[in-house]
Amino acid sequence: MEPISRRTAVTLGGLGLAGTAIGGAGLLWTAQPGFTPFGEPVARSAFRAKSGEPLRQPTEQRSRDGVLEVTLDASPGRMRIGGRNATTLGYNGGLPGPTLRVRAGDRLAVTLRNGLTDPTNLHTHGLHVSPEGNSDNPFVVVEPGDSFDYEFRLPADHPPGLYWYHPHHHGVAAGQVFGGLYGAIVVDDPLPIPVTRERVLVISDLTLDSAGNLTRSTVAERMHGREGELVLVNGQLKPSVDIRSGERERWRIVNACASRYLRLRLDGQELHLLGLDSGRFAKPEKVDEVMLAPGNRADLLVTASEGSTALRAVPYDRGSDGMMGGGRGSSLAEVTLATVTVEGADAGAGDTADSLPAIPRQATPVDLRGATVTARREFVFEMGMGGMMGGGGMGFTINGREFDGGRVDTTVQGGSVEEWTLTNASQMDHPVHLHVWPMQVVERVGRAVDSVLWQDVVNVPARSAVRVRVAFTGFTGKTVYHCHILDHEDNGMMGVIDARAAN
C-alpha cells in the first residue's frame, strides 16, 4: 500500500485521524491480496438468497523455528467496506491486520511504524509477557513518522489461545482502534484439536460518512463509548459462511469493538465453548449464546447441521451514562454479523450431540480459590460530573482518581496472590481489564462462581461488584488496568500497577 501523502491528509477533528481527499487513481487499499479465502470453495445452493461475499481470513504470519518477525505499518488508507470505498486506518493496509501465529516459548519481534498523525504504540492484549522495556510496555510512545522495535518473549508454558493486538496510547486509543487498528494473535495448541477447519473472526465496528470517511465522535459518544453503525467480521459487512452438514469448525472470535458488547447467537447450530480469553475450560461447555465485552475472546466449536442461520449479536443493555441526549448504546439493536448456510445430508443420525472430538488435555486450569491471599483490595469504578478538567464532561475514575501515567496507584508483590473486588458505582457496565496477569473470577454479583473461570477482561455490570483473584507470577514491572470501553480508558478510567520483585 502506498501511504497517503501529508499534503492530501486532512485532520479529522479531535481524533487527529487522517482523512483524505484523494482524486484520480487514488490509493485504494487492495483488500484482496491481503486476504485469503479459507479452505476450498464450497458449492453454492441454488436458492441461496442474497448474502454477502464469502468470509475471508486475515493474512497470516506464522513463527518458524521459534521466531516470528513482522513489520506492522499503522496508517490511513483506502479500502472497500460493504461495497463502498472507505478511508480507514489499518495495519499493513488491511483491516484487521495480519493474524500473528506463534507458539509458547516463541520470540515475537514486531517493528511498528507510525504512519498516523498522532502518537501510537502497540499492546499485545492478554499475552503473559513482560510489561517492561520494548516488550508489552503501554508507556512506550511512537511519534508520527517514527518506528519502534518491540520484542515479546512468550514463556515456555504460555497458555495457548486467542489474543489480539491494538494501539494503547492514552487519549487516542479509542479513535485508533475504532478507525481499524487491530489484529489477532493465536498461540497454537501444543496438540491440535481435531476439527474440519478453523476460522478467526475479528469483529469490529465503525461509522463512515457519505464520503466513506470515518466520522468524528461526539461528546456523548465519548462519554458512553462509541459504537459504530457498521459491524464487521474480518473487515467485511455481513459475509457468508458455508459449512457442510456434520462438519465441525473452530471459531476463534475477538471482540475488537471499541465499546460495543457482543451477545452472540448462532441459532440452530450446536455450540461448545472451549474457553474465554486465555482461559481454557476443563471441558467444553454447551452454550446457546456467548457474551463478549470489548476485548473478550471466545474459542468456540460449531457443529454444523443442515439449515440456514445467521450469526447475530442480540440486544444487550449496558446501561446509561445519564447524559442528556445520548447515553444509550446501539448494543441495544440486533445486528446480523454473517449469514451461515449448512448444506448436505447429515453424515449420520445423532452425529452432532455428545460426540465432541477427543480434545487433547492441554493442562488443567489453575484454581486460585484455595490459594493463600496476601492482599485484598477494592477498586471502585465511577462516572461523575465535573471531571475532564472541569470541562463539563464526565469524570471517569478508579478509586476517585483519573489516570496519571506518572503515578503508581497499586503496588503488588511479585509472586503473590491477591483478591480484588471490582465495584461498579455507576449506571453503566465497565469491562475491567488487567494487563499481563489474567484474573480468576471467583464471585459475581454476590454469587460464588462454581467453575474455574479465567478472563483478562471481566465485565462488571452497572451497580454491582465482581471479585477476582490474581497471581502476580512470572514478571515484574509497571503496567495498567483499565475499563476496556476504550473511550472510558481515554477519559481517565485507568490505573498504574507496579509488580515489585520480592526481596
Residues that bind ligand C2O (CB under 6 A): 123, 125, 166, 168, 295, 433, 435, 480, 482, 484
| Identity of the residue, 232 or 493, whose beta carbon is nearer to ligand C2O in the bound complex | 493
* The only residue of 103, 113, 125, 318 in contact with Cu ion, by rule CB under 5 A: 125
3 state SS of 491: coil
430 binds, among ligand C2O, Cu ion, none (CB under 5 to 8 A by kind): Cu ion
310 binds, among ligand C2O, Cu ion, none (CB under 5 to 8 A by kind): none
Sheet of 494-500: strand order equals 410-413, 494-500, 477-483, 430-434, 457-460
| Identity of the residue, 35 or 164, whose beta carbon is nearer to ligand C2O in the bound complex | 164
Query: With the CA atoms of 454, 457, 460 and 461 taken in that order, what torsion angle do they form, in degrees rounded to the nearest 10?
Result: -110
312 binds, among Cu ion, ligand C2O, none (CB under 5 to 8 A by kind): none
318 binds, among Cu ion, ligand C2O, none (CB under 5 to 8 A by kind): none
| Helix, strand and coil in the chain, % to nearest 5 | 10, 45, 45
Determine if 430 is a binding residue for Cu ion (CB under 5 A).
yes
232 binds, among ligand C2O, Cu ion, none (CB under 5 to 8 A by kind): none
* The only residue of 96, 488, 492, 495 in contact with Cu ion, by rule CB under 5 A: 488
Least separation in angstroms between CB 184 and ligand C2O: 12
168 binds, among Cu ion, ligand C2O, none (CB under 5 to 8 A by kind): ligand C2O
Place of cell 470453495: 41
Ordered alpha helix ranges (H), 9-158? 31-34
Q: What angle do CA 253, 255, 260 make, to 5 degrees?
A: 145
- Cα 337 to chain centroid distance, Å, stands at 16
C-alpha span between 335 and 314 (Å, rounded): 7
Pair type for strands 123-125 and 84-91? unpaired
| Identity of the residue, 419 or 487, whose beta carbon is nearer to Cu ion in the bound complex | 487
For Cu ion, which stretch binds (CB under 5 A), given 88-96, 203-211, 253-261, 430-438? 430-438
Q: Phi, psi (5° rounding) for residue 221?
A: -65, -35
| Identity of the residue, 295 or 329, whose beta carbon is nearer to ligand C2O in the bound complex | 295
250 binds, among ligand C2O, Cu ion, none (CB under 5 to 8 A by kind): none
| Identity of the residue, 115 or 131, whose beta carbon is nearer to ligand C2O in the bound complex | 131
| Identity of the residue, 78 or 170, whose beta carbon is nearer to ligand C2O in the bound complex | 170
Q: Which three cell numbers stand for residue 93?
A: 493496509
| Identity of the residue, 78 or 166, whose beta carbon is nearer to ligand C2O in the bound complex | 166
3 state SS of 14: helix
Determine if 257 is a binding residue for Cu ion (CB under 5 A).
no
Please check whether residue 81 is in contact with residue 56, taking contact to mean a CB–CB distance below 8 angstroms.
Answer: no
Determine if 496 is a binding residue for Cu ion (CB under 5 A).
no
280 binds, among ligand C2O, Cu ion, none (CB under 5 to 8 A by kind): none
Q: Which three cell numbers stand for residue 305?
A: 447441521
* The only residue of 4, 298, 483, 496 in contact with Cu ion, by rule CB under 5 A: 483
What residue type is assigned to position 231 of the chain?
A: V
Say how many Å lie between the first and final Cα of the chain, rounded.
51
C-alpha span between 296 and 484 (Å, rounded): 9
Q: Which three cell numbers stand for residue 175?
A: 479513535
| Identity of the residue, 174 or 271, whose beta carbon is nearer to ligand C2O in the bound complex | 174
Residues near Cu ion (CB under 5 A):
125, 430, 435, 483, 485, 488
